[in-house]
Copies of this chain bind each other. A is one copy, B any other.
Amino acid sequence: MTDQNGASVEQIVEKVWLSIAERRLRPGVQLKEEQMAAIFNVSRARIRQALATLQRDGLVMIIPNRGAFVSKPSVDEARDVFFVRRTVERCVVERLCKGISKADAKRLREHVAKERIANMEDITTDIIKLSGGFHLLLAETAGSDFLFATMRDLIARSSLITAVYRNTNRFNCGPDEHAEIVESIVGNNVDKATRLMAHHLEHVESELDLTELRDLSHDLRAALA
């Protein structure tokens, strides 16, 4: 999947991120350095950088002297992520409603249009990238670097959570609800925009199967209880 020349750290991170979101890398799988170094045709040092980044994003867990494993977010962690998203995204929306330039409005609408196309043509990779990308674009447009960085973290973790706990085959976070939110923001309708965003997040979370004690069949505690 990579060229003869080595991939950059960002490319490696992106590739792993997508593989996790597409469920091709399951939680608990070990990401062995040498193996990855061979796949991406780079030295282990660069793989280590990528793994450190992925750890910071919460996608992999690094255990000293053991290695890096794809994270298995608990139900509590999943709920926590959505809890924080409710607060942060509300903050983003409120900020955006204070006034948005025509150029920014255009960008948002164009993004939603791209989502529509990806959904119609059913390109999984694009759908995953774009549906998270919408929330990121919102944060970026809000003009707070820190909020943007925080949303980056939240989206990365949300992708993993969706990959693990997704119930339906259909991807949530579709373009229709996004479009409504954009229009409310452009129309400076704070109340409606925050309400729609809250509803949207609720909708996304509700499509997950966040029940306790899920597939812990191999867990010691479950066996002992």
Query: Is the CB of A91 closer than 8 A to any CB of chain B?
Result: yes
Interface on chain A toward B: helix, strand, loop, or mixed SS? helix
> Roughly how many angstroms separate A81 CA and B147 CA in the complex, as a whole number?
9
Q: Please, which residues of chain B bring their CB within 8 A of the CB of A84? A: 91, 144, 146-147, 150
Instruction: Indicate whether A34 reaches chain B with its CB closer than 8 angstroms.
Output: no
Residues of B within 8 A of A36 (CB): none
Q: State in angstroms the CA–CA spacing of A99 and B171 once bound together.
A: 37
Task: Tell me which residues from 87 to 119 in chain A have a Cβ below 8 Å from any Cβ of chain B.
Answer: 87-88, 91
Residues of B within 8 A of A147 (CB): 80, 84
CA distance A154 to B145 in the complex (A): 12
Instruction: Select which of B49, B146, B157 is within 8 A of A154 by beta carbon.
Output: B146
Residues of A within 8 A of B (CB): 49, 52, 56, 77, 80-81, 83-84, 87-88, 91, 144-147, 149-150, 153-154, 157
Known: A84-B144, A84-B147. 19 other contacts (CB 8 A): A52-B52, A56-B56, A77-B146, A80-B145, A80-B146, A80-B147, A81-B146, A83-B144, A83-B146, A84-B91, A84-B146, A84-B150, A87-B87, A87-B91, A146-B153, A146-B154, A146-B157, A149-B153, A150-B150
